[in-house]
Amino acid sequence: MEENKNILKQWVLSAINNRSSKELKEIFETIPNIDIAEAVADVDDPKQLLYIFRVVGSEYSAEFFAELSSEQQEIVINAFSDKELMELISDSYADDIVDTIEEMPANIVTRVLKACPKDLRGDVNRLLNYKDNTAGSIMTTEYIEMKDSVTVKEAIETIRIKGKDAETVYTIFVRDNKRTLVGTVELSDLIFSKEDQVLSEIMDKDFVSCNVNDDQEDVAKKFKRYDLTAMAVVNSENKIVGIITIDDIVDIMEQEVSEDIAHMAAITDMEEPYLKTPILKLVLKCAPWIIALMILQIFSTMILSKFEGVIGQFAILAVFTPLIMDAGGNSGGQTTTMIVRSLSLDEFSGKDYGKVVLKELRVASIIGAIIAVFAFGWLMFEMSVGIVNTDSILHLVNKNGGNYNAYMALVASLVAGTLFVTMIISRLVGVSLPFLAKLVKLDPAVMCGPLTTTTVDIISLITYFLLWTQIIGPIMGIGI
């Protein structure tokens, strides 16, 4: 794979440098555009880039242009004559043009808009005005729309004439006299039907559409649920204003997932490739969260601090606090991750909360019991073989008398009991916070992990020290 890339790179560069138009054309005919764009990713000489566009046919140039980096696109536009720019643009789709100029300086935007034919310019301007992450901002305006009274023969004829400018000809959108969207016809349906049938007879009425203001994540979910390859975008009057195709949705699915993953790990976002992100931006993505989480820790610090005297008296208690806090954090993290994922896949809605909590109570009790039993055995082992320093216990036995092994078992029970409570609390909190976030219309992925950990830390530390000061400590003869 890696080797193929390098070979292609050599081949493309040699074709450009030798000014071999035959070779270059052959490359474009046999290799996908994106691979060629990657091969010339380092080329920033306007002459070399221009050579490519002058040699390859218009059937490749617009798509190839869309695959270049925005720096390269800028170089090409600056080097193009007005006529060349107009040709390129008239071969491009409105949504690709919008993607291009969104990252360009103002003078280039003006030049590109000037080069657009009037219709296209209107479309581009409209697309530029839709809010980010809405259906409107990702749709394109090159689609085929026909009246429901058109015959199959006429429809195919129209596709032959107008189809080349459309982003897809596989779904034709059908409207009635009032310009309301009433159905869709697949190109295959046209092929399978008789020439004199009209569209209203063969169209699918159970089509799915979305509103221009719908969130792009919801649009992606519809594509997935209904196995669509293209979907109509309508305005509030149910008139079609654009379409979205599956290739854009695939990108959006990935973008939304990256966002969710980033939020769960407390990173601001990951919309840019790591190697291209400036150092300071990486710092700003990560450092504020670490600070915020450190501030949130004030509560567990307060609790630990309140029991500092207890720790000074019986230092072995301090050895087990990280173990308890980590186990609670891990368990809460598992639960939150599962619930956030299920919520984002719409596996359940807010009203399933009761059902989920009841289920979690049972799951958590079993996990709590397993972990408590394991922890008791594990700690007894750690203390017996000397992995854990038991000087505190020895000291106590020497001072007050009492059975060393029984005291060891009491300490292990203290940790085991705390872990039992911690497992149950961590899963209940891990379930509840994402639901709460959804209820108040926040993204459940944001901060739920860290907030769960903080809440669980507080409750488990209090449990630990209360169990000690109220029950286990007094049994062992340590008055507080």
Does the protein bind its own copies through residue 287 (CB under 8 A)? yes
Does the protein bind its own copies through residue 8 (CB under 8 A)? no
Binding pattern for the stretch 250-269 against its own copies, x by CB under 8 A and - elsewhere: xx-xx--xx-xxx-xxxx--
The phi, psi pair for 132, rounded to 5°, reads -50, 145
Round to whole Å and give the CA distance between 28 and 53: 11
Does the protein bind its own copies through residue 145 (CB under 8 A)? no
Does the protein bind its own copies through residue 13 (CB under 8 A)? no
**Sole window of 42-50, 243-251, 404-412, 462-470 interacting with its own copies (rule: CB under 8 A):** 243-251
Does the protein bind its own copies through residue 436 (CB under 8 A)? no
Does the protein bind its own copies through residue 211 (CB under 8 A)? no
Q: Among 41, 366, 475, 480, which residue sits at the site for its own copies (rule: CB under 8 A)?
A: 366
Q: In Å, what is the CA distance from 205 to each residue of 189, 208, 210?
A: 13, 9, 15
Q: Are 438 and 444 in contact (CB under 8 A)?
A: yes
Residues 290-309 that bind its own copies (CB under 8 A): 290-291, 293-295, 297-298, 300-302, 304-306, 308-309
Does the protein bind its own copies through residue 367 (CB under 8 A)? yes
Closer residue to its own copies (CB): 76 or 263: 263
Q: Among 61, 184, 216, 337, which residue sits at the site for its own copies (rule: CB under 8 A)?
A: 337
Does the protein bind its own copies through residue 126 (CB under 8 A)? no
Q: Among 209, 331, 432, 463, which residue sits at the site for its own copies (rule: CB under 8 A)?
A: 331
Closer residue to its own copies (CB): 339 or 459: 339
Does the protein bind its own copies through residue 11 (CB under 8 A)? no
- Structure-token pair, residue 439: 């209820």
Does the protein bind its own copies through residue 187 (CB under 8 A)? yes
Q: Among 382, 402, 462, 469, which residue sits at the site for its own copies (rule: CB under 8 A)?
A: 382
Closer residue to its own copies (CB): 39 or 77: 39
Does the protein bind its own copies through residue 227 (CB under 8 A)? yes
Does the protein bind its own copies through residue 226 (CB under 8 A)? yes
Residues 14-43 that bind its own copies (CB under 8 A): 28-32, 34
Q: Are 296 and 453 in contact (CB under 8 A)?
A: no
Number of Cβ within a 10 Å radius of residue 461: 24
Q: Among 117, 312, 474, 477, which residue sits at the site for its own copies (rule: CB under 8 A)?
A: 312
Dihedral of the alpha carbons of 198, 200, 201, 204, in degrees to the nearest 10: 130
C-beta of 270: minimal distance to its own copies in Å? 6
> Which residue matches tokens 């006529």?
83
Q: Are 55 and 40 in contact (CB under 8 A)?
A: no
Does the protein bind its own copies through residue 389 (CB under 8 A)? yes
Does the protein bind its own copies through residue 206 (CB under 8 A)? yes
